[in-house]
Copies of this chain bind each other. A is one copy, B any other.
Amino acid sequence: MNASDNRFSEAERQGLYRAIRERRDVRAQFLPDPVPEAVLANLLRAAHHAPSVGFMQPWDFIVIDDAGVKQQVKAIFERENERAARNYSGEQAQVYPRLKLEGILESPVNLCITCSRDRGGPNVLGRNTIMETDLFSTCLAVQNLWLAARAEGIGLGWVSILDQDELAQALGLPENVYPLAYVCLGYVDAFPSRPELESKGWRSRLPLEELVHGNRWGAPLENDGLEEALGSNELPGSKR
């Protein structure tokens, strides 16, 4: 038995790394083409295969295509976004209003991924110390869905500028169900090659080697080989 026998083939690894590298937070490029049911089912299945603390599977999925519900959510976004815009001054105050931060109405499908805080009862295995592990598990499901969407050629945009109480009310969520992610889904005319906030000069990608520590916070890596290997931010298969 060789330790690397469980490694995927080159082509399989490239598929995963490509999804990770080319995934984007999509807001502006949605096409009206419907998402086929079989494809949407694959995305939901990918999410449902996420890990969860104590195999709790705290997620639910509300598939939203009703124009009235979308309009309600869009109105919640607009109120919150007006408040958010007031946080910026100077150059950022100029740029902020020009950023498109959601595609609620243009995308054919919206999806709310919720977290049921009490699923699995009061003593979920592995959740005795950190109660938020159910929310964290639901995030892992969102990332599975996001990557699967990219592989299927479908753009996904996470709308985080929403009042969660108003959103929960609009979707009729029970008291212990938290609307963790509200995302827009649809085919797109193109996936931008870089994150929009990077290409618009809002913020740069940090050099990875500055984010890696050895054994304790702030300590240098004792492993020179790793330090050297980290010298690039590029994932395998990147075209330069």
- The chain A residues found within 8 Å of chain B, CB to CB, are 1, 3-9, 11-21, 23, 25, 31, 33, 37-38, 40-42, 44-46, 48-51, 53-57, 59-66, 69, 80, 83-84, 87-88, 96, 99, 101, 114, 120, 123, 125-130, 132-133, 135-136, 139-140, 142-144, 146-148, 150-153, 158, 160-164, 171-174, 177, 180-181, 187-191, 195, 197-198, 202-203, 205-206, 208, 211-219, 221, 223, 225-226, 228-230, 232-236
**How many copies of this protein are present in the complex?**
2
CA distance A181 to B236 in the complex (A): 25
| Contact (Cβ within 8 A) B125 A202 | yes
B-side contacts of A57, CB under 8 Å:
205-206, 211
In the complex, chain B residues whose CB is within 8 Å of the CB of A65: 215, 223
Chain B residues with Cβ below 8 Å from A171 are 216-217
Contacts of A13 in B (CB 8 A): 15, 151-152
Of A45, A56, A162, A214, which is in contact with the most chain B CB atoms at under 10 Å from its CB?
Answer: A45
Most-contacted residue by chain B among A20, A142, A162 (CB, 10 A): A20
Residue contact A158 to B216, C-beta cutoff 8 Å: no
Interface of A is mostly: mixed
Contact B6–A187 (Cβ < 8 Å): yes
